[in-house]
Amino acid sequence: MVNCEWKAADRFDDGKYTVSQLARAGSARATIACSNSGRTGARPPTYTNGGRGWLGRAGVGCDYQFAQWFVFGAFGDFDWMNLKSNGAVTVDARDRAGLANEKESAAWYAGLRLGYLPYPNLLTFVSGGWTQTRFDQRDFFNPLTGAALGISAPQTDFNGWFIGGGHEYRLPWFQGLTWKTEYRFSQYRGVDEVPFVTATGVTGNSVLHDEKFVQTVTSSLVWRFNFGGASY
């Protein structure tokens, strides 16, 4: 049986990281509350873990230019991700702290954007919409010895929203080619995860309430077909 030891004040915080690699970047933060359905009268501990890594993005969209200087559009993106962290939680009744190599492996976005053209070849924009991300299974181990604890948290999909902004510059040597740089912040609704014994899949009465916050910065090339003949 998997149990979580409750404490009135127990917090682990290893900070928040950002990284820029190959013009693509990402950071993630997870807030986890550990609770036990069999005990009452105490507040479960909360842990905040940070991570970092890289991603690749592919997407499609459609923009409409109006009033000469404004652009309104809709888009959909998919990310291949390798954002990692070592997440710490209290995993059993003996108050053992377990680490797990956590990985965000994929995300998709569906959103809208509104842009303004301060110059004919430069678009600045804000964006927002809906998103879903996937975190792979986490296998906990002893942080001092590296020995497996035999306890895992399941692969989980998280749903949420995002906001962002950036700029898109039309390159002079190809009429339809632009260079886009964008920042996004995503917040995902909390999910109750039930840890299980890795070897057997048997669950206990513990629950990890997991919330995710993810930031990404990407730089990419975009091909614009300009079917409507817009100047941008």
pLDDT tens by residue, 49-85: 788 999 999 999 999 999 989 999 999 999 999 999 8
Judge whether 1 lies within some domain: no
pLDDT of 1: 29
Residue 126 token pair = 């804000």
Q: According to the model, what pLDDT value does residue 228 have? A: 57
Q: Give domain status of residue 6, yes or no.
A: no
Q: Is residue 228 part of a domain?
A: no
Cα–Cα distance, 27 to 186 (Å, whole number)? 10
Asked if residue 198 is part of any domain, the answer here is yes
The two tokens of residue 171 are 């390159």
Q: How far apart are CA 4 and CA 175, in angstroms?
A: 60
Residue 230 maps to a domain: no
Q: Collect all residues with Cβ–Cβ distance below 8 Å to 201 and sequence separation of at least 6.
A: none
Of the candidates 83, 101, 178, 91, the one whose C-alpha atom is nearest the C-alpha of residue 139 is 101
Give CA–CA dist 92/113, Å, rounded.
46
Question: What is the domain extent for residue 160?
Answer: 11-223
What pLDDT, on the 0 to 100 scale, is given for residue 38? Answer: 43
Q: Is the residue at 30 inside a domain?
A: yes
In a domain, 55, yes or no: yes
Sign of the dihedral defined by the CA atoms of residues 72, 77, 81, 85, in that order: positive
Q: Identify the DSSP state of 85.
A: E
Using 70 as the pLDDT threshold, list the residues of the chain that sit under it: 1-45, 47, 87-97, 227-232
**Quick one: how far is CA 90 from the chain centroid?**
23
How many domains are there within the chain? 1
In a domain, 132, yes or no: yes
Distances (CA, A) of 124 to 8, 23, 169, 180: 48, 19, 9, 10
Q: What is the pTM of this model?
A: 0.78
Measure the CA–CA gap between 153 and 32, rounded to whole angstroms: 12
